[in-house]
Amino acid sequence: MYINGNWVTPASTFAVFNPANGEQIGTVADGDREAARAAIAAAAEAFPAWSRSSAYERSARLYRAHGLMLERSASLAELMTREQGKPLKAARNEVKYAADFLLWFAEEAKRVYGETIPSARSDQRFLVQKCPVGVVAAITPWNYPISMLTRKLAPALAAGCTIVLKPAEATPLCAVAVFEILHEVGFPAGVVNLVTAADPAPIGEEFCTNPLVRKITFTGSTAVGKKIAGDSAPQLKRLSMELGGHAPFIVFDDADPVHAAKGVALVKFLNTGQACISPNRIFVQRSLLPAFLETLRQRIEALRAGDGMDPANAIGPLVNQAAVEKVDRQVRDALDHGAILHAGGARLLDNGLDKGHFYAPTLLSNVSPRMRVYREETFGPVAPVIAFDDEQEVLAMANDTSYGLAAYVYTRDLSRAVRAFEGLQFGIIGINDINPTSAAAPFGGMKESGLGREGAREGLEEYLETKLGGFSI
């Protein structure tokens, strides 16, 4: 762990395993609630001085962290592939994306502006100032174990907040590597703190109940997000939450079905489907269905699963055995209720894959609302296809979910694209675009997919309070 500017080794540790083959790749400190409390206290002690530091000083440190991350991108990507499982090419892309957040918020740190407001009284002046919210507690997921760290660390530090981070227990080594960079950059003691733990519950409880924590930022499941919101409510802590998704992918009949199917294949099986913006319900206008399914089937059958260190492999492992079982339950349930299987549909066990958590990329059609895969987030390599007949019908089906994170639309009709963009109840919508994300763009969802936004100007605002001064002269 990294607390108050020092690496801390407690009495106990826990092992970290490669999900591709089950091999142990390292051990990390097993922190407890006391460790979290010590880290929070260090962050609170460091906050006054860090919050008064100049924006240019904070910016310079983030620039330096950006440079170091790029210098170490190869080793960081290899570590990520071993620890999280994604193919090495995808890991390299994630490290670049993670560095982008450091760069973006290094620039935005110098653009925290206030304002003056005219008063009706001639002897009065109003001054509005933005100030950092205070100590931030951050909880990050395993599926993007470096970029989700910098997406929280960078804006918090740019705003003048201090931070305590608890990474996912499945991917703590990536977090340690990021904090090695922050340590080398030379952030003052207590400004950045890392608590790793095999059991996240006591750490989360301390974050929610410790009055020194003024904000919690969390990426993870909707169920856990709701618990954090409830547990922290008595202290009215500020919250940022990026939670679950159930993204629709809509292909209208004026789109090119081959082009759309290729797009689905790229984004659906990215990170083996373990992404909150992964398409979970693929709606295809009925006339395009045969050509779309055939192209998607061919693309899926060409995907090779295996250890991400082999560049020939495009599909990595799922995070653990429970994830494999969840995906298989959804597939079995769909088939039991009339879905048609075009590819995949089973755990992969041949050629040594039984040592890891692999599931075959799967294509289902004739999917209906009574199936679990239609209602539940999958977080795995399953593409469920649903036929539709008209625009109003598909928009209603797409919006028929408690989630509202991402959606995708393929159409060549500009008017239809605008209607879909305005009619879909989702925070991020890709129009003929499977990658509508960037450090410069706001990321977040509606309904039960979260609170607030990350990235962009909005991402910095999440860590700032508005202070009004009324001056009588």
Residue 438 lies in a domain: no
- Is 98 strand, coil or helix? helix
254 and 396, same domain (yes or no)? yes
Retrieve residue 244's tokens: 């679950």
Q: What are 129-173's pLDDT values in tens digits?
A: 999 999 999 999 999 999 999 999 999 999 999 999 999 999 999
pLDDT greater than 90 at residue 57: yes
Quote the pLDDT of residue 69.
98
Query: What's the number of domains the chain is made of?
Result: 2
- Domain assignment present for 66: yes
Distance CA(159)–CA(462), nearest Å, equals 9
- Residue type present at position 405: L
Whether residue 167 is found in the same domain as residue 203: yes
Kindly state whether residues 191 and 336 are assigned to the same domain: no
The answer to whether residue 457 sits within a structural domain is: yes
- Annotated catalytic sites, by residue? 242, 276
Q: Are residues 385 and 299 in the same domain?
A: yes
Is 439 inside any structural domain? no
Task: Give the CATH number, domain containing residue 128.
Answer: 3.40.605.10
Both 343 and 466 in a single domain?
no
Tell me the per-residue pLDDT of 246-304, one tens digit each, with 9 for 90 and over: 999 999 999 999 999 999 999 999 999 999 999 999 999 999 999 999 999 999 999 99
Q: Are residues 235 and 262 in the same domain?
A: no
Q: Of the candidates 285, 269, 250, 405, which has an alpha carbon nearest to the alpha carbon of residue 343?
A: 269
Say yes or no: 185 and 45 in one domain.
yes
pLDDT greater than 90 at residue 9: no
Asked, for residue 364, whether it belongs to a domain, the answer is yes
pLDDT digits (tens, 9 = 90+) for 168-180: 999 999 999 999 9
Are residues 53 and 126 located together in one domain of the fold? Answer: yes
Look at 3-12, 69-78, 257-266 and tell me which has the smallest mean pLDDT: 3-12
CATH code for the domain in which residue 400 is found = 3.40.309.10
Q: How confident is residue 354, by pLDDT bands cut at 50, 70 and 90?
A: very high
Q: Is 437 inside any structural domain?
A: no
- With respect to residue 59, please indicate whether it lies within any of the assigned structural domains: yes
Q: Is the pLDDT of residue 25 over 90?
A: yes
Using pLDDT thresholds of 50, 70 and 90, give the confidence band for residue 338: very high
Give the integer Cα–Cα distance in Å for 212 and 137: 10
Considering the domain architecture, whether residues 231 and 322 belong to the same structural domain is answered as no
How much is the average pLDDT of 384-402?
Answer: 98
Which pLDDT tens digit goes with each residue over 105-138? 999 999 999 999 999 999 999 999 999 999 999 9
pLDDT, residue 235, reads: 97
AA identity, residue 320? N
Query: What mean pLDDT comes out for the span 43-70?
Result: 98
Contact call for residues 410 and 433 (beta carbons, < 8 A) = no
Examine the pLDDT at 362 and tell me if it is beyond 90: yes
CB 94 within 8 A of CB 80: yes
Query: Tens digits of per-residue pLDDT, 321-337?
Result: 999 999 999 999 999 99
- Whether 380 and 301 map to the same domain: the answer is yes
Query: Whole-number mean pLDDT of the chain?
Result: 97
Distance CA 414, CA 10 (A): 59
Task: Report the pLDDT value the prediction gives residue 314, as an integer from 0 to 100.
Answer: 96
Q: What is the pLDDT of residue 390?
A: 96
Question: In this structure, are strands 406-410 and 247-251 parallel, antiparallel, or unpaired?
Answer: parallel
User: Does the pLDDT at position 391 exceed 90?
Assistant: yes
Does residue 149 lie in a domain region?
yes
pLDDT, residue 10, reads 82
Alpha helices in 128-199 (DSSP H): 147-159, 172-185
The answer, yes or no, to whether residue 11 has pLDDT greater than 90, is no
| Entry field: residues in the chain | 473
Arithmetic mean of pLDDT, 183-199:
98
Let me know: does 101 contact 455? Beta carbons within 8 Å: yes
- pLDDT at residue 101 tops 90: yes
Give the pLDDT score at 261.
Answer: 98
Asked whether 185 and 64 are in contact (CB, 8 A), the reply is yes
Residues 239 and 253 in one domain: no
Tell me how far apart the alpha carbons of residues 104 and 66 are, in angstroms, rounded to a whole number: 9
Domain of residue 192 covers: 2-243+447-472
Instruction: Say whether both 111 and 174 belong to one domain.
Output: yes
Query: What percentage of the chain exceeds 70 in pLDDT?
Result: 100
What is the pLDDT, as a whole number, of residue 222? 96
